Amino acid sequence: MNNNQTVGVLGAGSMGSGIAQIAATQGHQTILVDLNEAALAKSEASIQKILARLVDKGKIDQAEADTIFGRLKFTSDITDFEGCGIVIEAIIENLEVKQKVFAELERITGDTCILASNTSSLSIASIASACNKAERVIGIHFFNPAPLMPLVEIIPAVQTSEETKDTARGLIDGWKKVTVLTKDTPGFIVNRVARPFYGEALKIYEEGVADFATIDWAMTELGGFRMGPFTLMDYIGNDINYTVTETVFAAFYYDPRYRPSFTQKRHSEAGWYGRKSGRGYYDYAEGVTMPEPNKDEKLGTTILNRVLVMLINEAVDALFLNIASKEDIDLAMTKGVNYPKGLLKWADEIGLDNVLSQLETLQSEYGEDRYRPSVLLRRMVRDNKTFY
């Protein structure tokens, strides 16, 4: 794959639009296809606006903006993908629809064209199974907003060839993204390891330990996270975040570690999605003052530690199960969701024995499998080892 090859992007929503912008900026002729003309028009206008802003800020000049925009073709005709070197799919998150589309992409494109999916939660193996040449199918998972977030997860399915994997990763590395290699398992790295950031925070709230504002304060002020869990869930949308949690929970055969929360379900059912609906855990109506946190340091530390050890446990378990390398697990969380530190590095710093003993206390108090420490954590403490 080189810059002379055309990149196809299917789906001109928030992700597809961002991915097409990246490909065109990196010098590729880029074809953006959507069935919905309104989505195409919106994407075209939004990319134009972003390029104009980059010109205003002096990041690129007008000629460059024109060149980038000139490389983009917006169309509703999927057969335009015929000569593409790669097609990245970013349509609705529905397996049957994606399978149908991949079978169609295989008929339209040449034999060597890589077919990639930006899915957040579906298995790449099941998408690839719709193709005769499943070895050319791979997951390439960008984060939102794609042009700004450096991380991209590369997910070969069991069917994916080494050549497809290497070519796809090489291409995205060439786009100056930080790629991490992950197994085709639910949530890949980020959406798996990050679950307790939401789930444990919600549980802490449900138990009446603290309110939303206090938990958010503890995680940002004491933990150094850029956004607190409730602010972040309101930003992502409670409908979307709840669905991801439910999908991951079911995909892990109902492991209690990933159990969704009624609080989030009710907020979603009420239409309290967050910023996009004007109300979530917080009220975003004009003139409403945000609730004040209880800045009790002892309480804040208890909250932070409980969420942090659960996050670390998840990261350790992902390493234990060979989902990704320790470097990639830490990179994924710092570059994909802006964590202040890699979780395995963080674990070394606060002491693995300390993490283990906090988890053991939670597990014995609650009597719940949710808090079971990873076997790898136990072994490392026993052998007096650190990750780095």
Catalytic residue positions, numbered: 120, 141, 153, 191
Q: Which stretch binds ligand NAD (CB under 6 A): 60-68, 140-148, 202-210, 330-338?
A: 140-148
The binder of ligand NAD chosen from 2, 36, 48, 62 (CB under 6 A): 36
The binder of ligand NAD chosen from 35, 41, 103, 250 (CB under 6 A): 35
Kindly state the smallest distance separating residue 92's Cβ from ligand NAD, in Å: 4
- DSSP annotation of 153 reads E
User: How far apart are alpha carbons 238 and 198 in whole angstroms?
Assistant: 11
Locate 320 and state its tokens: 């234990």
Locate 229 and state its tokens: 């869990």
Query: Is residue 93 part of the contact set for ligand NAD (CB under 6 A)?
Result: yes
* Cα R_g (the chain), whole angstroms: 22
Site string for ligand NAD, 257-296 (x = CB under 6 A): ----------------------------------------
Contact predicate 358/381, CB 8 Å: no
DSSP string, 102-120: HHHHHHHS-TT-EEEE--S
Q: Give which of 2, 30, 27, 6 is closest to 16, Cα–Cα.
A: 30
Kindly state the smallest distance separating residue 129's Cβ from ligand NAD, in Å: 17
b/e code 243-270 from CB counts within 10 Å (16+ = b) = bbbbbbbebbeeeebbbbbebbeebbee
Site string for ligand NAD, 41-80 (x = CB under 6 A): ----------------------------------------
Nearer to ligand NAD, 11 or 223 (CB): 11
Q: Which stretch binds ligand NAD (CB under 6 A): 137-145, 219-227, 270-278, 297-305?
A: 137-145
User: How far apart are alpha carbons 231 and 235 in whole angstroms?
Assistant: 6
Nearer to ligand NAD, 34 or 317 (CB): 34
- β-pairing, 151-156 vs 137-142, is antiparallel
Kindly state the smallest distance separating residue 22's Cβ from ligand NAD, in Å: 13
The binder of ligand NAD chosen from 144, 325, 361, 386 (CB under 6 A): 144
The binder of ligand NAD chosen from 21, 29, 30, 120 (CB under 6 A): 120
Q: 């609650």: which residue's tokens? A: 366
Locate 177 and state its tokens: 């993204």
Query: Is residue 10 part of the contact set for ligand NAD (CB under 6 A)?
Result: yes
User: How far apart are alpha carbons 357 and 365 in whole angstroms?
Assistant: 12
Kindly state the smallest distance separating residue 272's Cβ from ligand NAD, in Å: 19
Locate 191 and state its tokens: 């959406």
Query: Is residue 118 part of the contact set for ligand NAD (CB under 6 A)?
Result: yes
User: How far apart are alpha carbons 371 and 203 in whole angstroms?
Assistant: 12
The binder of ligand NAD chosen from 57, 58, 92, 298 (CB under 6 A): 92
Residues that bind ligand NAD (CB under 6 A): 10-16, 33-36, 39, 90-93, 97, 101, 118-120, 142-144
